[in-house]
Amino acid sequence: MSIIRTTVRLTHELQNEDRYVRVPFDVPSGTDTLEVRISYDTEKAVIDLGCEGAAGWRGWSGGARRAFVIRTDDATPGYLPGRPEEGEWNVILGIHRLSDAGADVIVEILRPAESMIDHGPTASPTTGSARGSTRNLPAPEGLRWFAGDFHAHTLHSDGRESISGLAALAARAGLDFLAVTDHNTISHHPHLPVIGAQQDITLLPGQEVTTHRGHANAFGDIGWIDFRLPAQDWVDEVDSRGGVLSVNHPISGDCSWLHPLSRAPRAIELWHSTWYHELIATSPLAFHARWDRDAVLLGGADFHIRDQGVGPGTPTTWVAAEDASPDAILAGVAAGRTAIMGGVRVEDGLTVPDVFTAPVLVRIEGDVIATDADGTILVDGEGRRRSVRDDLSVFEADPAAGPYYLLHPDRRIAALCA
């Protein structure tokens, strides 16, 4: 076995110059496996971990791991399998947090790898769970509303569930689709079609492009988006590849959106699960009023672990599409056919969407239709209010005056659409 050991001194001066420090190492011809390990004083730093091969990006695990393995036929979740190509590679150390005194990071390269690879448990196939699409919400001709969630994580980044476990949770919650959006990696993409078929749910390929100045979800099987480039490059690259980019949780703590843009992306995650902390808050709407008013509205639970108490589908995003295939769902998003529902209940400590009973507000051309919303108040983007008095109410609604949203009498938001 060959072991290369390097000590890297991380300082604020280094962080100021480049948050993503490259630690180079050579991979000789004939290498079948390799393993990377890092160690450091966690009281002095929080370090993200990634890898760039001689031929391109090989993966990212952020702060969730301190080691990874790449083999010809497999890799640690977050990393791409394949024979390690000959040439200069780089361990990427992302300086997330650093004490005043800095920190030493010990980087070890092992050839061949000696650790096992764990993809997590396989969940039993989900059967008999009704899906939101069977609610048959009023829809444009030839389309149906499908229930889903555009933000979730697995073991391929900082989530705790396997892809299979996450898919089972979403299927049991009544969702028709779920976007798997692990941070700065697409290692999960090849697994999605098979696992989605096993759990009878559409799994949309996504990547959460993640930096300290904001996050964005890139949707579609469009390849990896380099988070180290300017955010405008993300927008342009995703568009050129035929995907959809959404700015995530734009007013959420230290993950708020700070990147300058000359052209906004197609979508915005207007309803992130953090809105449940204060459902009378108007800050997401205030941000939207100063953003691109034509942006497609999405919602995301941002599921990571069950202990957080936020389950897939809270909030639920409805998409009017021809069917539940990934292409059809993303076509519906690109066309702006979305609506967001907030109704939830709690089961076993985890929020679950009230897919079949909560108030929903959907748009069909020049009208918005409120379903199961008797007693709520319809408000438009200019603040005009109308009472909802039936379980199915149709209102004339100019899209230019959006977004439109439903409020409970106590001012809690219930649902919204463009």
**Could you report the per-residue pLDDT of 98-144, keeping only the tens digit for each?**
999 999 999 999 999 999 999 999 999 988 889 999 999 999 999 99
Instruction: Identify the CA nearest to 67 among candidates 84, 54, 46, 51.
Output: 51
pTM of the model: 0.97
pLDDT averaged over the chain?
Answer: 97
Specify whether the CB–CB gap between 295 and 245 falls below 8 A.
Answer: no
Could you give the percent of the chain with pLDDT greater than 70? 100
Contact 59, 68 (CB under 8 A): yes
Distance CA 263, CA 59 (A): 28
Q: Could you report the per-residue pLDDT of 275-295, keeping only the tens digit for each?
A: 999 999 999 999 999 999 999
**pLDDT tens digits, 302-324:** 999 999 999 999 999 999 999 99
Per-residue pLDDT tens digits for 362-415:
999 999 999 999 999 999 999 999 999 999 999 999 999 999 999 999 999 999
Share of the chain above pLDDT 90, in %: 99
Q: ω into residue 121 within 30 of 0, thus cis?
A: no
CA distance 6 to 26: 13
Task: Give domain limits for the chain.
Answer: 2-111, 132-358
- pLDDT score for 342: 98
Q: Which of 149, 339, 329 is nearest to 221 (CA)?
A: 329
**Cα–Cα–Cα angle for 267, 143, 169, rounded to 5 degrees:** 65
pLDDT, mean of residues 203-222 = 98
Instruction: Look at residue 391 in the predicted model and tell me its pLDDT.
Output: 94
Which two three-digit tokens encode residue 263?
């052209």
What number is the average pLDDT over the span 169-196? 98
Is the pLDDT at 82 greater than 90? The verdict is yes
Least confident of 123-127, 145-149, 209-213: 123-127
For the 132-358 domain, the top CATH level (class) is alpha beta
pLDDT of residue 127: 84
Q: What is the structure's pLDDT at 81? A: 98
Asked if 356 and 130 touch (Cβ cutoff 8 Å), the reply is: yes
Residue whose token pair is 């809690």: 412
Name the fold adopted by 2-111. Answer: Jelly Rolls (2.60.120)
Residue 1 is predicted with a pLDDT of: 82
Q: In Å, how far are 77, 183, 206, 344, 386 from 153, measured between CA atoms?
A: 12, 8, 10, 20, 38
Asked whether the predicted pLDDT for residue 45 surpasses 90, the reply is yes
